[in-house]
Amino acid sequence: MKLKHYAVAGLFALSAAVPAVASAAGNVEAGKAKSAVCAACHGQNGIAQIPMYANLAGQHEQYLVSALKAYRSKERNGGMAAIMQGQAASLSDEDIANLAAYYASLPAGGK
């Protein structure tokens, strides 16, 4: 019976994610312009120089959208969440989509 509940919950989660995927297409150039403040921790090319900060280059676009929205709504905690919550608080959905598109467009190796 538990498995059935997990399956139902999974279907609801998936259906909630589908509209978000469709709306995630951001503008790479606008994201690049907005990324200057991100570079302080995440590096100029999305590759962090300090191991405690995440590399953003080459991440999946929808993952970045979800993560930034979770920081903005304070649903994501732990680690550097307090810093990211502050950074994400002023981002619009369009800003988030643009940043996600930019970082997803970068090569994961930073080259």
Cα separation values, 48 from 56, 57, 60, Å: 8, 9, 17
* Structure-token pair, residue 41: 């921790």
Residue 58, pLDDT score: 97
Residue 110, pLDDT score: 73
Q: At 108, is the pLDDT very low, low, confident or very high (cuts 50, 70, 90)?
A: very high
All structural domains of the chain, each given as residue ranges with its CATH number in brackets, are: 2-105 (1.10.760.10)
The string of pLDDT tens digits covering residues 10-57 is 444 444 444 444 445 899 999 999 999 999 999 999 999 999 999 999
The string of pLDDT tens digits covering residues 47-98 is 999 999 999 999 999 999 999 999 999 999 988 899 999 999 999 999 999 9
Count Cβ atoms within 10 A of the Cβ of residue 28 and give its class: 0-12 exposed, 13-18 middle, 19 or more buried.
Answer: middle
